[in-house]
Chain A
Amino acid sequence: MANKHVIFLVHGMGNYTNGWSDPAQNIIKDKYKKFPQISWLKFNRFYEFVEIIYDDEFEALRKQWERMSEGLGTALQSQGINAGLVKKLNKLAGVTNKDKFINTHIVDVLLYRFARQTASAVRDSIRVQILDKLKSLNSSEPISWSIIAHSLGTAVIHDALHGLYTDALDISGQQLGNVTRPHMLMMVANVSRILQSDVKVYQSVVRPGAPENAHAVRHYINARHEWDPFPMPKAFRPKPDWPTLSIRERGFYKEIVTNAIEDKNIHSLEHYLKNPLVHTALFNALSDRSAIDDASIKSAHSNYVAKTPLGKFEETVQQLKEFQLGEEEDLAKVIKVWAEFKDKVGA
């Protein structure tokens, strides 16, 4: 049996369990059917989705600190130590414990960015999930796979891929790039640059154009919404000759900027995928050619924009203006604005 093309889905910040990507999957399948140029090949027959979950790494650490600080509080109180002091000490120890989303989401980002152990554990978890799936496929047929990553997921997948594709087996020196590479990497609300640490995104091997070179991926799609505060600061916006002029000319790197608003949570993966500019880029990359021509894309986009007039979302637009960030904002302000956005928009 020939292998289906595997599409890995990598979530962003927050709590995620199995089934988190069902809405996104349904949107992709639904939009695929609307283009006869590609839908003559049934989606479910030739593609399959695999969810990647990595927030369990953050959760395990948070839970451990929660238990440690609870124990500390109990121990201190039983020794008759001043209640006020206990409260202060407990607060210090338990600063990561609050179960509010602000801590859940923002602590994940801070842990990934600043705690090397956590970042490495998350990257290894993602690598294991990808490799386990690839290992399970029929090896006497070619393996083809792609990745759609969202928000914090763009940073973790970037780093995970860079490490994987610069690693070599100890004795033979063989590398994964000789055997398989992701066909397409779609980065939605790309925060890989503002969260970069040991690996710099413009210099890493995670660049398009494979297999003509040693780059990790073939197609790289970078999608952002003009009003989305997440990908704004230190936006991933490479120069026109990144990685090379010829790769750009061949269309292996696609920059998609949208501004239509369908609902107030413009940061969500589902909102991005609903826009024809985004999903047609996805389908063309999966097809490895311009299966959906420019005229069809333009027509689909015009219809979409006509149904999402800015006037309908004037209040949302006014709200979104509060969350605009500059290119060079410092990380502390960025984190604060991201947290406020999630709070107000309910993302």
Chain B
Amino acid sequence: MRMFNIRWAILFVIFVGNTPVFADESNCTEMRNSALENTTDHFGVLYSLYSTAKCFGSNEDKEDWVVDIRKKVTKEDELKLVGIEKENLIRKQWAIDVIDAVGSQTVNLQLKPDVIKQFKQVLAIAKEQLLADVQDKNVTSTGHWQLSGDNGTLLALPLVTLKQDLDKVCKNHSQGIDKNKCDKVVAYAEELLRMIYVVESAMQYYGHPVIEALSKRYTLRKKMWDAYRDNALPQYWWEWGINSWRLSRSDDRLRDAKGQPMGPMEIPNDQIILLHPAFGIERLESIDGFSTTDPTIIIEFLGYNRWRWNRATGEMQNGLGFSVIGSYADRSKVDDFSYGILVHFQNKYSIAVTRSSEDDTGILLTVDLATLFREKSDAFKELSSNKFR
């Protein structure tokens, strides 16, 4: 019975030993020591500490040279106080400082002299490109400095084969075989992970303005789309459909190698008006000398409206359009119907000259029905009263 209990206790310890349990605030050293103690997957543990826990090379890392180089970084809130050009220079300088710092640390990879040589060559190329502000898709891109979790390779340094190295030497580590060799490879791996993480950080820091510039671009675009919906002449759903069709037809974006459009669609600066109901006030002068002012229902049969975009602020400017209209008002002494041309100004104000079938001439003003009812739903009712008769 006692042997049985001891056996279960040993099995329990082995199981628990392979599945480290940490408090939420365990530091990297605690996590690392506990995770490596009984594992058979050294690469898996180190990769998790590098990729998920970010223990190597980050602000969490207490290694002296990492602490020193990270002290030199200018923080985001300080960067906001300088102009864009100065910011880019500061970012570039830190990236170069990182390259120099990492370059001097490569000696710690002495287990793999060929990796050291390749590392130094690649760092030299990266430094040249940073100094020349040439953004290569390779050695200055963050992706090339990310270790792959499935096979432990790195695009920037093709000679790195970390998973293979660790698996080969450490497979018997838990049985105490090749323990020293395994410890050396683990030390090499940690140094390498530290260095590539810091270089990736440098490339991230240097390239960050791209994120900011794109954020600004798309924020402006969003503002323009909102203005298109809210500030251009309002469109009923059939007009929205027609203008969508026009937008598709006019899509002249460059195409990539697979024939797919590149980048976002151009935001339109015009619109077709089609069978659009509106409301206005029409003053009609009959040829008999009688005049009447009435609230009027208008149909814009067909029209066109155009504006200019202020690309810096996303605002619409200089809107100008026209449409062919018919109007109707319930009148007693003159014709109920008249026709004319309506001119739109600034997407807000519209004026038309109309003529009835009895040659009565009218002037019509409209605040578009939809605009009116965007803001004041009772206004039409008020105007439909006898107030203006």
Q: Which residues on A are within 8 Å of B, measured CB to CB?
A: 1-3, 5, 36-38, 40-42, 44-46, 60-61, 64-65, 67-72, 74-76, 78-81, 89, 93, 95-96, 114-118, 120-121, 123-125, 127-128, 131-132, 134-135, 138-144, 162-164, 166-169, 172, 174-181, 198-200, 203-205, 210-212, 214, 250-251, 286-291
Complex contact A287–B52 (CB within 8 A): yes
Which residues of B are at the interface with A, using a C-beta cutoff of 8 A? 19-22, 24, 31, 35, 44, 47-48, 51-54, 58-60, 70, 73, 76, 94, 135, 137, 140-144, 146, 148-151, 155, 197, 200-201, 203-205, 207-208, 210-215, 217-219, 221-222, 225-226, 228-230, 234, 236-237, 240-241, 243-244, 247-248, 251, 256, 258-265, 267-268, 277, 279, 295, 297, 328-330, 369-370, 372-374, 377, 380-381, 384
Q: Given that A44-B24, A115-B240, A125-B222 are contacting pairs, would A71 and B260 also be in contact in the complex, using a CB cutoff of 8 Å?
A: no
Query: Which residues of chain A have C-beta atoms less than 8 A from B279's C-beta?
Result: 71, 75
Are the C-beta atoms of B328 and A74 separated by less than 8 Å? no
- Determine the distance from Cα of A71 to Cα of B149 in the docked complex, in whole angstroms: 60
Q: Say yes or no: B142 contacts A179, CB within 8 Å.
A: yes
A176 contacts which chain B residues (CB < 8 A)? 210-211, 214
Q: How far is the CA of A135 from the CA of B226 in the complex (A)?
A: 22
Question: Which residue in chain A gives the minimum CB-CB distance to B373?
Answer: A71
Q: Which residues of B contact A123 (CB under 8 A)?
A: 264
Question: Whole-angstrom distance from the CB of B135 to the nearest CB of chain A?
Answer: 5
Residue from the list A38, A81, A117, A214 in contact with B240, Cβ < 8 A: A117
A132's closest neighbor in chain B, by CB? B215
- List of A residues within 8 angstroms of B236 by Cβ: 65, 68-69, 93
Are B264 and A78 in contact (CB-based, < 8 A)? no
Name which residue of chain B comes closest to A60, CB basis.
B229
A116 proximity list for chain B (CB < 8 A): 244, 247-248, 251, 265
Q: Is the CB of A115 within 8 A of B267?
A: no
Given A141-B59, A178-B135, decide whether A205 and B256 contact each other with a Cβ distance below 8 A: yes
Chain A, Cβ-Cβ closest to B376: A71
Complex contacts, A93 vs chain B, CB 8 Å: 236-237, 277
- CB-nearest residue of chain A to B329: A79
CA distance A230 to B217 in the complex (A): 34
Give the distance in Å from the alpha carbon of A172 to the alpha carbon of B31 in the complex: 43
Known: A40-B22, A139-B208, A167-B214. A117 touches B228 (CB 8 A): yes
CA distance A36 to B230 in the complex (A): 53
A71 nearest in chain B by CB position = B373
- Measured between beta carbons, the chain A residues less than 8 angstroms from B148 are 288
When C-beta atoms are compared, the residue in chain A nearest to B212 turns out to be: A135
- Cα separation A175 to B215 with both chains bound (whole Å): 13
- Tell me if A179 and B204 are in contact (CB < 8 A): yes
Give the residue name and chain of the A residue nearest to B258 (CB): A203
- Contact partner of A70 (CB less than 8 A), chosen from B58, B137, B261, B373, is B373
Inter-chain CA distance A32–B34, complex, in Å, is 20
Q: Which residues of A contact B297 (CB under 8 A)?
A: 75-76, 79, 81
B53 lies within 8 A of A41 (CB) = yes
B244 in contact with A135 (CB, 8 Å): no
Tell me which residues across on chain A come within 8 A of B22, comparing CB atoms: 40, 42
Determine the distance from Cα of A179 to Cα of B374 in the docked complex, in whole angstroms.
43
Inter-subunit contact B225/A120 (CB<8 Å): yes
Judge whether A180 and B374 touch: CB under 8 Å.
no
- Shortest distance in angstroms between A73's beta carbon and chain B's nearest beta carbon? 10
Which of B21, B203, B204, B295 has the largest number of chain A CB atoms within 10 A? B204
CB-CB under 8 A from A200, the residues of chain B are 260
In the complex, chain A residues whose CB is within 8 Å of the CB of B369: 68, 71-72, 75
The CA-CA distance from A109 to B339 in the complex, in Å, is: 39
Of B59, B150, B218, B380, the contact of A78 (CB 8 Å cutoff): B380
Which residue, A1, A2, A168, has most C-beta atoms of chain B within 10 A?
A2
Q: Which of A36, A142, A166 is in CB contact (< 8 Å) with B260? A: A166
Expressed in whole angstroms, the minimum distance between the Cβ of B193 and any Cβ of chain A is: 12
Rounded to whole angstroms, the CA-CA distance of A103 and B114 in the bound complex is 65
- Which of chain A's residues have a CB closer than 8 A to the CB of B146? 142, 211
